[in-house]
Structure 1
Amino acid sequence: MKILWFLTCLFTLSLAQNDPINTRRFPKNLRIGVANAAPQIEGAWNVDGKGETIWDHFAHTYPERIADRSTPDIACRSYEKYKEDVAMVKAMGLYHYRLSIAWSRILPTGYVDNVNQLGVQYYKNLFKELRDNGIVPMVTLYHWDLPQPLQDQMGGWINETIVDIFADYAKLCFELFGDDVKWWITINEPKQVCQSGYGSLYFPPAIEASGTLAYVCSKNVLLAHAKAYHIYDELFREKNQGQIAMVIDATWYEPGSDDPLDIAAAERAQQFDIGIYGNPLFNGDWPQIVKDRVAERSKLEGLSESRLPTLTAFEIDYIKGTSDYLGLNHYSTQLINHTAEFPIGKPSFENDKNVIYWHRDDWTQGSADWFWDVPWGLRKFLVWLKNNYNNPEIVITENGFSDTSGTLEDDNRITYLEGHVSACLDAIYYDNVNLTGYTVWSILDDWEWGGGYTSFLGMYKVDFNDPERPRIKRKSADYFTDVVKRRCLVEESQCVDQ
């Protein structure tokens, strides 16, 4: 018993320790940028011909489901203040700015037969401003803001016709902006689009069908992405010489002990969260553990077939390989333990996954009960991606610290960024991970979906009580500007050249 106690203490201690800060210079090919998304910063929700989105509709219809009953109607006023935002990116010396096109700003109904030229011109102007300031745009086509007519008329992402509708929208964007954009993202965080949108009441379209329609959504999202990829590959790549990928997100799930059952539970959680999208993109088909578990529970529920839609041989081949790089959004780590099988009853994604989550009390918490500052989790995650998906090029498309204080003296954010960038360098230099980009979320505070204006991730504070929405520099902005300038996390005299 004493030996078991000692080993358990060693294991627990290892989970509490972070690696020392990496002192090596950033690789020359490591591109550093910042990110945000149209529905969170633009405002002007019904200006100049823009159509309603599912988030506009949701915030107006169910204000009680937003933490402060706010809406994205005004947000940061970036529709008018985009030049100011670009100037901040330039002042920090950053390589790229990740942004999204609001589908409903250029296609108010969601369909390509009704193009809003004022919306098109807005993005043309934004891309020109970036180009004139030497900043590379990384552009997301879909950042959760489905045009509301597509939800009303055909059910959104659970209707297979969305595959062609999204592909038409993507093709139009490639035609309109192909000369301005070389770095494309089709869909941001399909897990949230599907498991949250079709599995909870707190994410539009707020349909509670976890374990059923959410899986249908996952298949349609993958096929929509793949069709957009093939369109770009066949019609635009030779001329525009760009890259295109889907961005997938997940927490790193660390086994809560060295018990084989806990190790298996953590791997299962990883496959359900990121593998549902990563495996079809890089290996082909759903992960085997996902197929097996959903099929078994479906059978026990009395169903004649699995709730997880089958991917045909054609669909597997059509989806596989449709990612020029692996775009990763990552914020946190959680510990995972095995648990007894959840009772058979109402289908759910979490019941299919069947794990329990926990965290160490000495981890620094962000603004949510899943948000913890654990840099070593990112390094482990990057190695897991390398090993599971045949060493792809990886671009971190979101990583940052969220708090509820909004303080300008944001030392927790600085600590978070320092630790996570250091973890990236460890993964590159010691684990040979092919990581070529790191993107901080965010350059400025925004409308944080269900969190409204109560959760802050910006290196610049936005005063949402002031109609002018002024941007105010935080301590982290100066910190990160210095890091980018010297391309090293420590003082110049301590930096180790490659």
Structure 2
Amino acid sequence: MANAKNGSCDGALKEVRRSDFPEGFVFGVATSAYQVEGARREGGKGDSIWDVFCEKKENIMDRSNGEIAVDQYHRYKEDVELMAKLGFGAYRFSISWPRIFPDGLGTKISAEGVAYYNNLIDSLLEKGIQPYATLYHWDLPYNLHNSMGGWLSEKIVEYFALYAEACFANFGDRVKHWITINEPLQTAVNGYGVGIFAPGVREDTSIEPYLAAHHQLLAHAAAYAVYKEKFKATQGGDVGLVLDCEWAEAFSDKEEDKIATERRLDFQLGWYLDPIFYGDYPAVMRQRLGDKLPKLSEKDKELLSNAIDFVGLNHYTSRFISHVQKPRGIHFYQVQEMERIAKWNNGEVIGDKAASEWLYIVPWGIRRTLNYIATRYRNPKIYVTENGMDEEDSEISTLSEALNDIKRVGYFKGYIAAVAQAIRDGADVRGYFAWSFLDNFEWAQGYTKRFGLVYVDYKNGLTRHPKASALWFSRFLKGEDDEDNNNTEINKG
């Protein structure tokens, strides 16, 4: 296992360059609506589950919320200008469902909501930046949760399809890359199991997370079908699903650890991709969950069959996995019978640590994840839709110190080099999106963590300041050598 531990078998590139990637490969940045937009009560927007979840201040580490966030609703032109000056070719943003349909029901569309996203999309295209739009990044209209149970109700599938159709109709003449749902695992497990994400449900953790996942999967397939039937021929775009996955590496050569590692990947990726590519949930999930895992009808299977144009991968970190018989946590973790390990027995860690307790820097993990998807799922088109690391928000850092995010520069160099290696291995990776463009509201952690390439000064008018990582990206994207451009500056204008 020495190779797995230090990544030596992966032959890391000494210095990654833009020219290491195929022609047409897309480099972009990503955000999501609730994390950056703000304007909770403007433009006719209805409340989302996150708006209401944050009203209970104890739900968020610093008792904050996204009511203003970093105010991209009003500052999108400034942000798009900065993206363009840095040299990014794409922006992955999300559309707020309650900004389009305030009550979620699809009976009345918000003209102001449509106008906002039209303006954002047009601004991106004017600067040569391709829009990658996510339909659902966790901000479910609160009315759908309150009136029918949100993702626990099969009715949600129909409402999501109506919402998707409205977005395709209004924006699809310009948006050619659509993501239906972001990280359904997080919504299912942390929203309807652990309860640390909106809507904060934790009533029957042995049933409801699997039901929420089931309905998200069917909602994705329903939206995919709408696009294929009504828009594909005229608009010519692609529709994908974004999944999050920590790489799982066996802790030892014991067979039980190797099997636990396979099981861990099935409970992350297989949960959503197996029904699309192979017609049912993974056998190990069926075996361990029994009747708790919803059954796919023949109609469901037909709807799901190959209902994907690309796989989006959100990847941040990796873990060693060992088999344990009685793990801690909710049902979802207990039935996996595995433990996620960050350290070897001698105390050596899997990688350097970022700010969040779960995030270790393990570049070789993304290469293995991409190769796993390519091998297991017939080499689909893949976009790395999120990848990045956080730092603590510090009261004592000067602005110049906060901008000097050298560890993040190293993170991106390592991970982007590993993506280039996966492409050489044969994985069909088409693009990479750094998370995140801006420091923003990081869900249950509020504003205590900063993932941004661009520093947002929360105490001085939310002003934007590119960090060293943003300047490194700018040089990388322009094919310039680091040593020749140490003094590169971006004039925000």
Residue 333 in structure 1 maps to residue 318 in structure 2: yes
TM-aligned CA deviation for residue 22 of structure 1: 5.3
Q: 1:13 to 1:440 in 2, by over 3 A?
A: closer
Partner residue, 2:399 = none
Preserved CA contact (<8 Å) 1:106 1:115: yes
Structure 1 residues 489 and 438, CA, compared in 2 at 3 Å: closer, same or farther?
A: farther
Cα distance, 1:365 vs structure 2: 1.1
Give the superposition deviation at 1:104: 0.7
Cα deviation, residue 105, structure 1: 0.9
**Residue 63 (structure 2) aligns with:** 69
Q: Which residues in structure 2 correspond to 1:144-155 (within 5 Å)?
A: 144-155=138-149
With over 3 angstroms needed to count, the CA separation of the structure-2 counterparts of 1:318 and 1:206, relative to structure 1, is same
For residues 179-210 of structure 1, what are the alpha-carbon distances to aligned partners after superposition, in whole Å with 9 as ceiling and x for unaligned? 12111011110001111110023111111132
The equivalent residue for 1:89 is 83
Please, which of 478, 482, 490 is the counterpart of residue 475 of structure 2?
482
Aligned equivalent of 2:447? 453
Deviation at 1:311, TM superposition (A): 0.9
Deviations 1:299-349 (A, max 9, x none): xxxxxxx11111122212211211101111110101100112559xx9710
Compared with structure 1, are the counterparts of its residues 13 and 110 closer, same or farther at alpha carbon in structure 2 (3 Å cutoff)?
closer
Q: Does 1:247 align with 2:239?
A: no
Contact 1:40/1:448, CA 8 A, preserved across alignment: yes
- Aligned counterpart, 2:488: none
Candidates 382, 385, 390, aligned match of 1:402: 390
User: Secondary structure at the residue paired with 2:433?
Assistant: strand
Task: Report the Cα distance in structure 1 between the residues aligned to 2:226 and 2:6, rounded to whole angstroms.
Answer: 50
Specify which of 90, 102, 106 is matched with residue 100 of structure 2.
106
Q: Match for residue 355 of structure 1?
A: 338
Distance 2:4 2:245 in 1: 23
Whether contact under 8 Å (2:92, 2:133) holds in the other structure is: yes
- Do the aligned residues in 1 keep the contact of 2:4 with 2:249 (CA within 8 Å)? no
In 2: Cα distance, 1:373 partner to 1:393 partner:
25
Is contact 2:207–2:293 with CA below 8 Å preserved after alignment?
yes
Distance 1:10 1:287, change over 3 A: closer
Residue aligning to 1:117: 111
2:178 aligns with 184
Deviation at 1:489, TM superposition (A): 8.7
Distance 1:18 1:63, change over 3 A: farther
Structure 1 residue identity aligned to 2:316: Y
SS of 1:447's partner is coil
2:212 to 217, 220, 227: 217
Runs of 5+ consecutive residues of structure 1 not aligned to the other structure: 1-7, 296-305, 493-498
TM-superposed CA distance for 1:93, in Å, is 1.1
Contact 2:29 2:92 in 1 (8 A): yes
> What is the identity, as a one-letter code, of the residue corresponding to 1:465?
K
Distance 1:17 1:159, change over 3 A: same
Does structure 1 conserve the Cα–Cα contact (< 8 Å) formed by 2:439 and 2:452? yes
- Determine helix, strand or coil for the equivalent of 1:248: strand
**Candidates 304, 316, 319, aligned match of 1:319:** 304
Question: What is the CA deviation profile of residues 349-377 of structure 1, one whole-angstrom value per residue up to 9, with x for unaligned ones?
Answer: 00111101111344211222211110000
Matching of residue 199 in structure 1 with residue 182 in structure 2: no
Following TM superposition, by how much is the alpha carbon of 1:282 offset from its aligned partner in structure 2, in angstroms? 2.2
- Tell me if the contact between 2:185 and 2:243 (Cα under 8 Å) persists in the aligned partners: yes
Q: How far 1:211 moved relative to its partner?
A: 2.6
Residue in structure 2 matching 1:432, options 421, 426, 435: 426
Tell me if the contact between 1:212 and 1:347 (Cα under 8 Å) persists in the aligned partners.
Answer: no
Q: Is the contact between residue 26 and residue 487 of structure 1 (CA under 8 Å) also seen in structure 2?
A: no
Letter in 2 for 1:388: R
Is this contact kept in 1: 2:472–2:482, CA < 8 A? no
Query: What TM-score does the superposition give when structure 1 sets the normalisation length?
Result: 0.91
CA offset digits 1:411-441 (Å, max 9, x no partner): 1100110000000011111x11111110001
Tell me how large the CA RMSD over aligned residues is: 2.0
Shift of 1:18: 7.1
Query: Aligned letter for 2:276?
Result: L
Residue by residue over 1:261-316, the C-alpha shift from the partner in whole angstroms, topping out at 9 and shown as x without a partner, is 11111110110012101111222210111111112xxxxxxxxxx11111122212
Contact 1:247 1:328 in 2 (8 A): yes
Aligned to 1:300: none
Distance (Å, rounded) in 2 between the aligned partners of 1:130 and 1:340:
51
Structure 2-normalised TM-score? 0.92
Gaps of 5+ in 2: 395-401, 486-493
Higher mean alpha-carbon deviation, 213-222 vs 398-407, is at 398-407
**How far 1:250 sits from its partner (Å)?**
1.0
Per-residue deviation, 1:89: 1.0
Tell me the equivalent position of 2:152. 158
Q: Is the 8 A contact 1:211 1:348 kept in 2?
A: yes
Do the aligned residues in 1 keep the contact of 2:194 with 2:330 (CA within 8 Å)? Answer: no
- The answer to whether structure 1 residue 422 and structure 2 residue 405 are counterparts is no
Does the C-alpha gap of structure 1 residues 20 and 258 become closer, same or farther in structure 2, counting only changes over 3 Å? Answer: farther
What's the CA shift string for 1:18-76, capped at 9, x where partnerless?
7233556221131110000110000001112111110010001x211201000101111
Which of 354, 361, 370 aligns to 2:358? It is 370
CA separation in 1, counterparts of 2:165 and 2:14? 44
TM-aligned CA deviation for residue 156 of structure 1: 0.1
Query: Do 1:269 and 1:353's aligned partners in 2 also have CA atoms closer than 8 Å?
Result: yes
**Equivalents in 2 of 1:418, 1:405: separation in Å?**
23
Equivalent residues of 2:105, 2:159 under 8 A apart: yes
Return the letter of the residue paired with 2:271: I
